[in-house]
Structure 1
Amino acid sequence: MKNLKTFTTTLLAGVAFAGAAAACEITLRSSDTHPEGYPTVAAVEHLGELVKERTDGRVCVEVYHSAQLGEEKDTIEQTQFGVIDMNRVSMGPFNNIIEETKVFSLPYIFRSTEHMHQVLDGEIGQDVLAAFEDHDLIGLAYYDAGARSFYNSQKPVKTLEDLKGMKFRVMQSDVFVDMVSALGGNATPMPYGEVYSSIQTGVIDGAENNWPSYESSGHFEVAKYYTLDQHLMVPEVLVMSKKSWEKLSAEDQEALREAARESVPFMRKMWAEREEASREQVLKAGAEIVEEVDKTAFIDAMKPVYEKHVTSDNLKQIVERIQAVK
């Protein structure tokens, strides 16, 4: 009887969903690796509501959270081919595809959250979004991802000496790999979904991420030492398949761009609230937070990373422009 009830509920939900989808002339599938309720997921859902309203129900957005359509590296290629219409991805995985994105992934490139917002919301941010088009993608908006810091299962990390020899998961980006190496650690690129079990089984000692990801992934359960070195403030980016974009009318394209812009302050507010809630939760669970960190030593260690990755005149100019933003 219980199974019959569950089947009936699922069937009715499917019928309702099919009916809602049928009312839309165009349904855009959007991917996100984060779980339901996460600020980036909620922001794209909010965007979808705005688009549906402004196109009189003709264009709808379905958000597939929790990596239902695949991990970030795989979904980028699917988005370029038009298999996935929209995609919220961290900037890191784009570093080996789009040169300009490397700059936003450089350690300590942003002095503060306010400085980052000034850059992203201004001309520099728009120039980098425009660079996606040459790679079969349309850049729509930047979302916050907070400051990334190291966490591990072994010991409190307070100095560079403490980091030496430790194995940390990083995103599949040469910049991230070289950053960890410059700090004396061993970088292990791997999909986000494999991190928990890899820390738990000792394949890696830890990883690096922001407060909400540290909490929502459950990584604080297996890596209780969290060091606030804040080495990266890498924005997230919402992109759309160029193939899917070109199927839209000019009016629908503008509606989508406007909705994307308006989803940014919505996301930032949610992010600030989520960051505080995540911090409280992991502290309550017994995570040990290291706040006394000599950032100067960390920053000084980044010189070879900049020398290796900021090589073209284009990238050097972007770095100079960012540093000149007050």
Structure 2
Amino acid sequence: MFNKKKFIALGLTGLMAATLSVSSLAKVTLKLSHNNNKSHPVHISMQNMADEVKELTNGEVIIRIYPDSTLGNQRESMELIQSGSLDMAKSNASELEAFEPLYGAFNVPYLFKDTEHYYKALLDPEIGGKILASTEGKGFIGLTYYDAGSRSFYAKKPIRSPEDLKGLKVRVQPSPSALEMTKLMGASPTPLAFGELYTALQQGVVDAAENNPTALTLMRHGEVTKFFSEDEHTIIPDVLLISEKSWAKLTPEQQQAVKLAAAHSMMTHKDLWVKMTDEEVKKAKETLGVEFVKVDKQPFVEAVKPMHDKALADPVIGPYVQKIDALR
């Protein structure tokens, strides 16, 4: 005998199951890899971005962040994201130069006058905007920039001039610009994964490194190198990237939410970076006994002047370097 109530109940159950199925299909989880730890300001800023994406999409897009190179070092992450095996990654302009030459514009030593000049370039649609979009069709696209501070040399001895770098093996990122800069300053550049650097400094595999001051405390490099020489040779932005395959999984509304949250996180990160860097410098001095050495930058500037001249003449990055110079 036909049971109307049972039929309706079964129909409603089926409808609810179908609705739940569609809802679960609509949810997207994106894995984001980076090489810093959870206390690093860039991690905190990306977590803020992930929280905003979740809110803006009503939980339809979840970004799970994997710190400390748990999904591979920075280079490996870039290769995974380019192939579509990884959704998102934090890299930087130095690493990205090998994948897209335009990022090399940011790697020219002493290009930026100060932080204000740096942000003008990043926020300029004709400079920062076009460079982020330049990798479309190459497997990934740029979403936003994060301030990673100015980079200086640190070692077991003070480095007050390029003369002090002669004969030293200096850990650098694997980019043509970093290699050329270090050679012009008289040192021997040694590309090495960031996660391996503490042991390399401790065991003398390399004599020095170059990074922002947070590396002294957050990566504990100040335990094995006691002199941070403030030559401030580059200000290289970190870059948040997403695989084109993962980007295509998102609806236009979800893409807009991700872009908006990424842009917001860049600007909140600006203040966070300053605050946390000041705190880490204080810790490095008071807890680890690191000496911060003021240097005359002019000899360093003169040593790498050929790089600036070469960059201006380069048909790819030259127009961008000219535009950045014009913003001074």
Give the TM-score of the pair, scaled to structure 1. 0.90
Mapped contact 1:89–1:236 kept (Cα < 8 A): yes
With over 3 angstroms needed to count, the CA separation of the structure-2 counterparts of 1:24 and 1:64, relative to structure 1, is farther
Offset, 1:97? 1.4
Offset, 1:304? 2.6
Mapped contact 2:162–2:303 kept (Cα < 8 A): no
Q: Distance in 1 between matches of 2:26 and 2:280?
A: 36
Mapped contact 2:135–2:142 kept (Cα < 8 A): yes
Mapped contact 2:216–2:223 kept (Cα < 8 A): no
Tell me the amino acid that sits aligned with residue 298 of structure 1: F
Give the alignment partner of residue 286 of structure 1, picking from 282, 285, 289.
289
Offset, 1:29? 0.4
The share of aligned pairs that are identical, in percent, is 35
Offset, 1:142? 0.4
What residue in structure 2 maps to residue 93 of structure 1? 95
Q: Distance in 2 between matches of 1:321 and 1:309?
A: 12
What residue in structure 2 maps to residue 262 of structure 1? 264
What residue in structure 2 maps to residue 56 of structure 1? 58
Tell me the amino acid that sits aligned with residue 194 of structure 1: E
Offset, 1:307? 4.6
What residue in structure 2 maps to residue 7 of structure 1? none
Give the alignment partner of residue 252 of structure 2, picking from 250, 253, 274.
250
With over 3 angstroms needed to count, the CA separation of the structure-2 counterparts of 1:24 and 1:66, relative to structure 1, is farther
Offset, 1:309? 5.1
Q: Distance in 1 between matches of 2:196 and 2:25?
A: 38
**Which segments of 5 or more consecutive residues in structure 2 lack a partner in the other structure?**
1-23
What residue in structure 2 maps to residue 306 of structure 1? 308
SS at match of 1:187: strand
Coordinate RMSD, CA, aligned:
1.4
Q: Distance in 1 between matches of 2:311 and 2:191?
A: 18
Q: Distance in 1 between matches of 2:109 and 2:242?
A: 27
What residue in structure 2 maps to residue 182 of structure 1? 184
What residue in structure 1 maps to residue 143 of structure 2? 140
Offset, 1:214? 2.4
Deviations 1:143-163 (A, max 9, x none): 00001000012x211122111
Q: Distance in 2 between matches of 1:61 and 1:207?
A: 32
Does 2:151 align with 1:157?
no
Deviations 1:271-298 (A, max 9, x none): 111100110011012111111x121111
What residue in structure 2 maps to residue 12 of structure 1? none
Which structure has the bigger radius of gyration? Answer: 2
SS at match of 2:85: coil
What residue in structure 1 maps to residue 77 of structure 2? 75
SS at match of 2:249: coil
Does 2:93 align with 1:126?
no
Q: Distance in 2 between matches of 1:212 and 1:168?
A: 18
> Relative to structure 2, which stretch is displaced further, 158-167 or 224-233?
158-167
Q: How many residues align?
A: 303
SS at match of 1:172: coil
